[in-house]
Chain A
């Protein structure tokens, strides 16, 4: 009998430990994969860079000279003395291999070549500024007789450049792949969502917790709010596409989805969360405080705004931070409501992508970009992690302060 019990105890323990470690291993593997894939790209240029790649063709009929290096440059840079330009093998912000300009001699004519794709009013081609970091895709020299391609790498291109006396056409790319636009769009979405969701949500919670009398109606609404927290977000996205997008199209003449319609959709998604967390915060405020205030001749509004709300602030803040996390992570609803157009010039009334939707966009198509997706995932994860940390700190403070009498 005794042995049997011991055996069962051991079996259950083994089960709990093994299943628990399976869970940990899976989570660890996901995080390891994301970090190892994306960490390379979590760098400043990616974060503040344009997403769109600007391509043009430049030419330079003459410019051969002898540009002797006057300063030491990185040993990876392959330098052409007759053109005064140094190239290097690199990867772009999205992780693809490219050849980019790493150094230009200050006297080199290549600092300002002519732009073949643009013609000004007088019929001349304007000069463009070539900068360090510009990628070269391919180049045609000496009236198209010499062709150099990016896949020949920096050394190959320089070798051909050294044979050239004129640059007939060089395709350059100010390389994109940055996520600045999506970060800004995400921030806009967060700000506009919260501006609307906090007052509405907090007021609703105050009404049901402080003002409304207990009735079947208020109970029904409360239950409905609970239920709404569980509705999949794509349903809300549908609502956004069906109501908010046409509404904004007709009132402020937006074209299709926009950050504003996305924010409105997120307001609907966040309301239940904010209402719920505010309610929880209001519930733990002892009734003695309300009575104390009312007994001093304060009216209900004064009691709510001077005594109840200040003490509920930490709880409300927790709800708001959870909401920010929710906006950062939301994708399905925002694909409908904001659209999936990665944009560098973010305008409130136009289509854009939030970070999560950015991942969705670059993972679609024929060549999903795992590295950039993982990099964005790291950014989202770290923000959410920081938010959770803040919530923990607030919750701790809350417990300390709420130690009434």
Chain B
């Protein structure tokens, strides 16, 4: 590990993570650190466990009954899988954007206000402020400010995805997890999301799963390469793409398999 890596403070520290779906081991003994205000990209071929792994960070895997996780997941020095750990609190601090845009079938305003309202914020003025800030941060305000009461389903795919990002930002999280956020979008919408991610790096820690190696190279500071449930290599992005240590990594980024 290089010097810079050690200087930064980790927001997530994961030690010896194993994850099973029933009898199938999807994650094999992975340890890693995810640092504050960095963009960490997970790359790897389909089925390598990167989407499963990102869902450990906000315990979204809890929803799958057969899923068992062992190891230590420290978020700000607290073990996420502790019995007394408040998972609701974790998810309001660690937001998530999904592969397919999933706005709620309600108005744009209500979509953004949903999270804060669930936290008990009822004051209209406060909510108005939150909605406006979130939409501005997600670079969507100019496009929708005149139709906040319209259904979110009327937006285009790219707008819907930015709305989902705005919805996450409205919670003022520490970390934003993105699970292939651009895989369902066209190149122009993808470009906008990538610009947005670079913008958001100032305020948030971002973990992004992507199929697109160019995307990882463009936007991330750290890149982790997964293969068949194992973490092959994790390092600064330019090192991974220019001087990979591992033979498998080199083969993957040069397109020899995947």
Q: Which residue numbers of A lie inside 8 Å of B, CB to CB?
A: 213-214, 286-299, 302, 306-307, 310-311, 401, 403-405
Spot the interface stretch: B58-66, B136-144, B217-225, B228-236.
B58-66
Measured CB to CB, the closest approach of chain B to A168, in angstroms, equals: 78
Write the B61-73 contact mask toward A (1 if CB under 8 angstroms, else 0).
Answer: 0010100000000
Q: Is B252 an interface residue (CB 8 A)?
A: no
Q: Which residues of A contact B92 (CB under 8 A)?
A: 296-297
Q: Which residues of A contact B105 (CB under 8 A)?
A: 289, 311, 401, 404
* Cβ-closest chain A residue relative to B173: A297
Q: Is B10 an interface residue (CB 8 A)?
A: no
Q: Is B115 an interface residue (CB 8 A)?
A: yes
**Cβ B101 vs Cβ A306 within 8 A:** no
Q: Which of B178-215 contact A (CB under 8 A)?
A: 184
**Cβ A288 vs Cβ B114 within 8 A:** no
Write the B146-160 contact mask toward A (1 if CB under 8 angstroms, else 0).
Answer: 000000010001001
Q: Count the B residues whose beta carbon is within 8 Å of the partner chain — how many?
A: 31
Q: Which residues of A contact B167 (CB under 8 A)?
A: 292, 296
Q: Is B100 an interface residue (CB 8 A)?
A: yes
**Cβ A307 vs Cβ B104 within 8 A:** yes
**Cβ B102 vs Cβ A405 within 8 A:** yes
Bound CA–CA A297/B90 (angstroms): 7
Q: Is B98 an interface residue (CB 8 A)?
A: yes
Q: Is B164 an interface residue (CB 8 A)?
A: yes
Which one of B89, B91, B106, B157 contacts A295 once the chains associate, using CB atoms below 8 Å?
Answer: B91
Bound CA–CA A214/B89 (angstroms): 26
Measured CB to CB, the closest approach of chain A to B173, in angstroms, equals: 9
Which one of A214, A290, A291, A297 contacts B65 once the chains associate, using CB atoms below 8 Å?
Answer: A214
Q: Which residues of B contact A286 (CB under 8 A)?
A: 102
Which one of A291, A306, A311 contacts B114 once the chains associate, using CB atoms below 8 Å?
Answer: A306
Q: Which residues of A contact B103 (CB under 8 A)?
A: 292
Bound CA–CA A289/B167 (angstroms): 13
**Cβ B98 vs Cβ A288 within 8 A:** yes
Q: Which of B70-117 contact A (CB under 8 A)?
A: 88-89, 91-93, 95-96, 98, 100-106, 114-115
Q: Given A292-B98, A294-B91, A296-B168, answer yes or no on A306-B63 (Cβ-Cβ < 8 Å).
A: no
Additional pairs, 9, CB under 8 Å, beyond known A286-B102, A404-B102: A288-B98, A288-B100, A291-B98, A294-B63, A295-B91, A296-B95, A296-B114, A296-B171, A297-B171
* Cβ-closest chain B residue relative to A288: B102
Q: Which residues of A contact B164 (CB under 8 A)?
A: 292
Q: Which residues of B contact A401 (CB under 8 A)?
A: 105, 153
Bound CA–CA A307/B105 (angstroms): 8
Bound CA–CA A297/B115 (angstroms): 7
Write the B225-255 contact mask toward A (1 if CB under 8 angstroms, else 0).
Answer: 0000000000000000000000000000000
Which one of B106, B118, B171 contacts A302 once the chains associate, using CB atoms below 8 Å?
Answer: B118
Q: Which residues of A contact B115 (CB under 8 A)?
A: 296-298
**Cβ A295 vs Cβ B114 within 8 A:** no
Measured CB to CB, the closest approach of chain A to B63, in angstroms, equals: 7
Q: Is B16 an interface residue (CB 8 A)?
A: no
Q: Which residues of B contact A214 (CB under 8 A)?
A: 65
* Cβ-closest chain B residue relative to A302: B118
Bound CA–CA A403/B152 (angstroms): 12
**Cβ A298 vs Cβ B100 within 8 A:** no
